Amino acid sequence: MGEEAFEVAIESGLLCGHVGGDGPPALLLHGGAAVPDYLGGLAAELAPLFTTYRYTQRGTQPSTGGPPYSVEAHMQDVVAVLDAFEISRAWLVGHSWGGHLALHVALAQSERLLGVICIAPLGAFGDIFAEQDANLRRRLTPEAVTRLDEIEARRRAGEVTEEELVDRFAILWPQYFADDKHPLSASAVDHVGVAASIGVNRSLTEHFDRQTLVNGLPHLRLPVLFVHGELDADPPRASIETAKLIPGARVELIAGCGHFPWLEVPGAVAPLVASFLAG
């Protein structure tokens, strides 16, 4: 089933995306942050279940949009897309950082949502980052580790270039796969919004420090599904422990799978989602 391109105006630019599928509306939120949308394969797998809307987030080509590049600004963009299509309530399907963003939207705009599906999300707890970093580095060569450290230092200092961030994703993207030699493990990132990347990561840190999700999720009253690969470099406990905060939330683990289940185990996500919707 094909997709059609769309553009949605926001205060400081345009969000560029695609719509397709058939069924209740579901807005897909990619990870990164500040990379082009890469969820076409996931949208195709979910097309029999949902009408999917996906877009590249603000500050990264082909979308535009200026600062602030914060969790709050991205939440406003979600509402802008729903409003543009006159969608009163939708499912949010978020991957990685996008799953984390979906949970923030659920707390702030629960009346606009039918429910949330988080695929390999960051989760509510900032303490996973040390474990994630160790997992991502364990198969890297010493030369790759040195290069990564250089880029990370420049990113933290706010001096990093787009070329360096693209290089960072080229190093790390394959490490998110259970098999880093998987045919689809090459990085899908050819652009990075530098200011957007720096801004989102700083905003994330602020929210982790304030424990926004930890404090808010116990009060959430929406259906929430977590799907996580058992071999994901982002530890499965990110989903498991976050789900414990949410009344009635469900967790499904996919064996032999890393961070991109629709690529690594094609067809595995849709049946889990279908079962969740039926339940």
Within-domain flag for 182: no
- Ramachandran quadrant class, 117 (left: phi over 0; alpha: psi -120 to 50; beta: rest): beta
The answer to whether residues 58 and 141 belong to one domain is no
The answer to whether residues 69 and 11 belong to one domain is yes
What pLDDT score was predicted for residue 185? 96
The answer to whether residues 50 and 101 belong to one domain is yes
CATH for 85: 3.40.50.1820
Q: How far is CA 24 from CA 88, 148, 268, in A?
A: 11, 42, 20
The answer to whether the pTM exceeds 0.85 is: yes
Q: How far is CA 112 from CA 91, 96, 115, 149, in A?
A: 9, 21, 9, 41
**Residue 271 pLDDT class (50, 70, 90 cuts):** very high
Mention every residue, 6+ apart, whose C-beta is less than 8 A from residue 117: 26, 91, 92, 93, 94, 102, 224, 225, 227, 273, 276
Tens-place pLDDT, residues 168-204: 999 999 999 999 999 999 999 999 999 999 999 999 9
Over residues 34-59, the mean pLDDT reads: 98
pLDDT at 19 over 60: yes
Within-domain flag for 256: yes
Q: Give the tokens for residue 201.
A: 């990561």
Tens-place pLDDT, residues 219-249: 999 999 999 999 999 999 999 999 999 999 9
Over residues 90-109, the mean pLDDT reads: 98
Q: Using CA atoms of 73, 14, 52, 220 in order, give the dihedral in degrees to the nearest 10.
A: 10
The answer to whether residues 42 and 94 belong to one domain is yes
The answer to whether residues 28 and 98 belong to one domain is yes
Enumerate the H helices of the chain as residue ranges: 40-46, 71-84, 97-108, 128-137, 142-156, 162-172, 194-210, 212-216, 237-243, 261-264, 269-278
The answer to whether residues 102 and 18 belong to one domain is yes
The answer to whether residues 134 and 11 belong to one domain is no
Residue 181: CB atoms within 10 A of its CB come to 7
Within-domain flag for 94: yes
The answer to whether residues 30 and 110 belong to one domain is yes
The answer to whether residues 140 and 42 belong to one domain is no
The count of structural domains within the chain is 2
Q: How far is CA 167 from CA 35, 149, 191, in A?
A: 13, 12, 10
Q: Which residues pair with 16 in a beta bridge?
A: 7
The answer to whether residues 134 and 210 belong to one domain is no
The answer to whether residues 22 and 81 belong to one domain is yes
Within-domain flag for 114: yes
- Structural domain of 231: 3-127+194-278
